[in-house]
Amino acid sequence: MKSTASIIEKLQDAWIPAIYRERVRSQRTRSHEMNISERENSAEILFTLLGIELKVGKRRFACPDLATARYLSVFARLGCGKVAIPYDITKISIIADELEVALQNMLLVHAKATATLSPQARGRMRSALIKKVREEVKEIGAGEKIPEFKNSTSQRNT
């Protein structure tokens, strides 16, 4: 039986916590908290008259744009309630693409690695893999609610 460690090793740079650490937390971010359960969830992006919403279970969260909704949906599916969002809105869409691909890749690698196992063993391994992602994202942290701005200027005092 393959372990979660072998799946993580196969994913390498496409491991979601690695993308989160290197591409998101390495830049200026703001934290975002969703009140969701710490388990695998279903996440759906809704287009309403009031704008874009992310529906996780029975809860709905307003999102400023589609890129942010896509970004948050990856973490909502994994049960990560508190995450960092890039402050620069032009980078959210690119990172959301990477995270969506990484999530699908992780699920495909898991499916291949557990093809010969019973459905119960596959479910346990999938839960363990998702729990590992959630723990690592939580360990990396969501940062500050509001990013720090440096007010220093390069002007000389005269």
Per-residue pLDDT of the chain (158 residues; tens, 9 = 90+): 467 888 888 888 889 999 999 999 999 999 999 999 999 999 999 999 999 999 999 999 999 999 999 999 999 999 999 999 999 999 999 999 999 999 999 999 999 999 999 999 999 999 999 999 999 999 999 888 776 666 665 655 55
Using left for φ > 0, alpha for ψ between -120 and 50, and beta otherwise, residue 30 falls in: beta
Other C-beta atoms lying within 10 Å of the C-beta of residue 24: 23
Q: What is the 3-state composition of the chain as percent helix, strand, coil, each rounded to the nearest 5? A: 50, 15, 30
pTM over 0.85: yes
Identity of residue 112: K
| Residue 23 placed within a domain | yes
Alpha-carbon gap, residue 29 to 83, rounded angstroms: 10
Q: Which helix (H) or strand (E) covers residue 60, if one does?
A: strand 59-63
| Residue 156 placed within a domain | no
| Residue 13 placed within a domain | yes
Q: Check if the beta carbon of residue 80 is closer than 8 Å to that of residue 134.
A: yes
What's the domain range around 102? 4-140
| Residue 61 placed within a domain | yes
Give the chain's domain count: 1
| Residue 30 placed within a domain | yes
The predicted pLDDT at position 1 comes to 44
The predicted pLDDT at position 135 comes to 95
| Residue 50 placed within a domain | yes
Q: Check if the beta carbon of residue 76 is closer than 8 Å to that of residue 54.
A: yes
| Residue 147 placed within a domain | no
| Residue 151 placed within a domain | no
Paired residues of 51 in beta bridges: 48
Q: Check if the beta carbon of residue 15 is closer than 8 Å to that of residue 52.
A: no
Alpha-carbon gap, residue 138 to 83, rounded angstroms: 8
